[in-house]
Structures are given as structure tokens and as C-alpha cells.
Amino acid sequence: MITFPHLLIHLKQFFMRSKFQLAVLFGISALLFSACSSPADKTTSVDLDKLKTEIQGMEDAYAAAEKAKDADKVVAYYSDDAVSYNRNAEPLSGKEAIKKRAADRLAKDTTGNYNVYKVVDLFAEGNMAVEIGSWSVLNPSGAEVDKGHYMSYFQKRDGKYVCVRDMNVTSNPPKPM
């Protein structure tokens, strides 16, 4: 049989547990709300229009350097620790390896063809940006002879963006053997 003092003890324990449970529930809720806050709230906002203009300028400079057969200016696009992935080749690590490939490719090219690069999409947050772009190879008369897409990952270092990873693919079918 439950006595009145015994009932009061159980009620007091019930309310103490309820307050504790309420405090725990409140704490968990606060944690969930703070964890679900937008990442943009924690990072620097990026002006995508301004950045797109900057990245397109880098692409235009890269294309002009290729056309001038200047490997030094081609690799100005890259960070010292860049990795570049190309079709039908192993990835190249480091600016010097990328420069050597560019110099070899440019020295062998006698076609007069030139490349055009265009920023298609851009994603950025904080000091990082990812560009999705298209490229076209044009012959001296301006006719397109090849085309494809590329992706470049940039980091802002010492106040300017540099490419730390890039990869490209052709959109044309493979040539018959």
C-alpha cells in the first residue's frame, strides 16, 4: 500500500527526472540546430561573378600562352604541387612535370591549331573554387577540330587563385585505329 509520504517522494523523483529529461532534450536540440546551420554562415562569401571573370582571364592567358608556345606562361596557371590528369596518359605531379609535358607538346605541334577555353560553371566557398569548363581546338581558319570539357580545382594562395588539380576529356568519339 502506498502512503502519502511515499507518494510525495515518487512525485518529487518524477518531476526531478522530467526536468533532467527536459534539459537533455533542450541540449540535444540546440546541438542539432547548430550542426545544421548553413556552411556559408561559417565561411567567407565569394562574389561568383567577379571570380568567374578572374578564372576566365586565367583560361584566356593559358590559351594565349599555348598559342605563343610559351610553357613558362602555361604553367603560371598551376600551383607548385598541382596534379594534372590528361587523356591517354598517367597523371603528372608538380609544376615542373606539367611544364615539361607542355613544352614537349608545344614543340611538336606544327598544325597551327589553337585552343579556346570557356568557364561553364563555377562553385566556390572560402578559398576554394571548382570550375567546369569547355574547350575547343580550332584550326587556323577557325573551324573546330576537337572539343571537350575540363574540371579545375583552385585554391587561393597568397591572394590569388592557382590550379591545384585539373582533368579534361574529349567529347569526340575515339578515332579508328
Q: Which residue has the cell 562569401?
A: 45
In the prediction, which pLDDT does 126 show?
A: 93
Mean pLDDT of 151-174: 94
CB 85 within 8 A of CB 153: no
The mean pLDDT of the chain is: 85
Does the pLDDT of residue 121 top 80, yes or no?
A: yes
In the prediction, which pLDDT does 99 show?
A: 97
In the prediction, which pLDDT does 175 show?
A: 77
Q: Which residue has the cell 613558362?
A: 72
| Global pTM value | 0.73
In the prediction, which pLDDT does 41 show?
A: 46
pLDDT digits (tens, 9 = 90+) for 25-68: 455 555 555 555 554 444 568 899 999 999 999 999 999 999 99
Taking residue 62's Cβ as centre, other Cβ atoms within 10 Å add up to 21
Mean pLDDT of 116-127: 96
pLDDT digits (tens, 9 = 90+) for 66-112: 999 999 999 999 999 999 999 888 999 999 999 999 999 999 999 99
